[in-house]
Structures are given as C-alpha cells and as structure tokens.
Amino acid sequence: MTSDGDIANSPASVSGEASARAAGGSNPARAPLNDIMIAMDVVDTLRHDRNLVERELNDDARRKDLIDRLREIYRGQGIDVPDRILEEGVKALEEDRFAYKPPNPDALSTRLARAYVSRWSWGRYVAGALIAIAAFFAVNYAVYERPKLVRAQAEQRALVELPARVKALAASVASEAGDPLIGTQAEALALSGANAAAAGDLAGARKAEAELKETLEKLRATYQIRIVNRAGEVSGLWRIPDANPDTYNFYLVVEAIAPDGKVIQQSITNEETGKSERVSTWAVRVDRSVLTTVKDDKDDDGIIQNNIVGRKERGRLEPDWTIATQGGAITRWK
C-alpha cells in the first residue's frame, strides 16, 4: 500500500493561494472561488495516486481515513482546509469533475470547430466557387434574363398601347381618304388589331398597325409616274409568261417622282412570283400598242416626249393612268 508520504509529495497547484486565504481570513466575496480552487487542488492531489484512491473509496471507513490524511497533508503545508471542501474534492474526483475530457471527434460541434479553425485553408476555395457562381448568374441575367424581361415588358406595353394607336390611325385614314369605303375598311382593320391585342396576339396587332400606316402613307403621297429613260436602262420590254408560253406580255418601266423631284419607293406585287416588294422602279403591263408608241417616240431622237403616264393625288390610293394598263406589274426583269 502506498504510504501517506507518497500522497504528501504530490503537486498542489494552488497551495499558495490557499495559504493566503488561511492567513488573511475569509473574504465573503471571494470565498466561493477559493473553495473551488482548493477543491480542484484536492482532486489534483488525489489523481497523483489513483490506485490508492480507488482502494480507499471502495470502503466508507477508508474513505473517512483518506479525508483525514488529506487534512493532515494540507495542515503540513500550513493550509486549513474545511472538511466540506475535502468532501467536495473527493466527490468531484468520483464524478470526474475538473478533469479534461477530449471532445468526441465525430460530434457536430467538434467538426464545426475544426472547420472554423481551418477556414483559411479551405475558405479561399469556397469563396472562389461562390464568386464564380455569382458571376455566372450575373452574366446569365445580363445576357439572357434581363433582355427577355425587357422584351416582355415592351411587348406588354405595346399590347396596352396598340388599340389606341390603331384607332387613331383609322381615324386619320378616314379623314384623308376621298372615298368613304377606304375609311370603313380602315375602321374594320383597326378593330381587328384591337381584338388581336386584347387576345395577346402582338404580331396580329402590329400587322394591322403596319397596314394602316402604309394606307395612310399612300393617301398622303402625291407623285407622277414617269417612264424611265436613262442610259443603260430599258424603257420597255416584253416577256413570255411561264403559265402561257403562246402569248406575250408587254411592259413599260416606270418610277414615281415626288413634287421635289425625288424618287419615291412603291410597294409593288410581282405578278410572276406573287411577292410584294418595295422598289424604286417597276414595269407595268400595258397593251402592245402603248409599248410600240413609246418605242417610236424614243427612237425618233432618243428622248421620250410624253414620259408622264400617270398621276397620284392626295386622298387616293392608286394613281390615275393616262395610258391603257392591264393591272399587272413585275419588279425584276434583268
């Protein structure tokens, strides 16, 4: 069995403070802390001879002897330790108080603590990944999402505004037109556009608006139709249509000239293709006799004297021709 002297030679970490407490008297404000410190010292003393302690604590009588020996040890150091403190120290040893217990390495709190301590090693990678993700979403929003949002907002505004616009255009068409039927047709077209807008059909509403604008532009335009007579360009031509190879179609090449002398483009439907094009010059189909007359006029001195073959007045959609036309036209012949 280990002797009392073995216990007496074990460390006493707070013996100095306990001595000061014994010499200086009890301070009520600091007494609890001192008691705890002494109890910790008792536990520390007992741990240095764990085998002895385990034997002594297995028997109540020996437990009392252990406390007596502890009291003598501290008295030998000049420290007067109350029995309740010694009892508290022995009890704390039994309960493993004041002992360091390493945390469970698999516990969530332990893992979080380790992650926090090592944050500088992995944090830059996480930060880089977060920055990359943020940059991706920012670019995606700027390049794809925002333009789509802007378009959607613009389309929504257009659907709201188009009914009023087509109605105003129809009123302008009716005011410009010399024929009441044109105004009636414009109102019907405006109603169609408004219904399309109400149904969310933006393309249909815009088509009605474009047609009304074109009609209004035609009504307001004034020009003369002149036979083209320039070097390197033909004034007339004939063609054999694919649909009827046994016949000939005769054409005069013409252009629309505004009062200021500028050429005005016209929307012309090509009878050979069925497609409508905006062109500066086109060929209007005429009788053979008309083409022959113009050819003779040009062959005389190279100048076409009677080169004005039609006039378009404001308020009318179509020009008044001074020659016999057959209602057809082509836009390409070269």
d(Cα 148, Cα 321) in Å, to the nearest integer?
Answer: 50
- Calculate the average pLDDT of the chain: 82
pLDDT digits (tens, 9 = 90+) for 18-71: 333 333 344 434 445 566 666 667 666 665 555 555 555 555 666 677 777 777
pLDDT digits (tens, 9 = 90+) for 221-252: 999 999 999 998 999 999 998 888 889 999 99
Residue 172 in contact with residue 187, Cβ under 8 Å?
no
Residue 5: pLDDT band (50, 70, 90) is very low
- Unique residue bearing structure tokens 């008691």: 35
Q: Regarding predicted confidence, which is higher, 98 or 301?
A: 301
pLDDT score at 25: 40
Q: Report how far apart, in Å, the C-alpha atoms of 268 and of each of 100, 271, 278, 283 are.
A: 98, 9, 6, 10
Side-chain-side CA neighbours of residue 61 (13 Å): 0
Q: Report how far apart, in Å, the C-alpha atoms of 97 and of each of 42, 64, 224 are.
A: 12, 20, 113
**Across residues 304-311, what is the average pLDDT?**
94
d(Cα 248, Cα 240) in Å, to the nearest integer?
Answer: 5
SS3 (DSSP) at 283: strand
Domain locations in the chain?
4-95, 120-220, 223-330
Beta bridge partners of 225: 256, 310
Two structure tokens written together for 217: 């532009």
CB atoms within 10 A of CB 84: 10
289: pLDDT strictly greater than 50? yes
Residue 298 in contact with residue 304, Cβ under 8 Å?
yes
Q: What is the largest CA-CA distance in the chain?
A: 152
- Unique residue bearing structure tokens 């000239």: 257
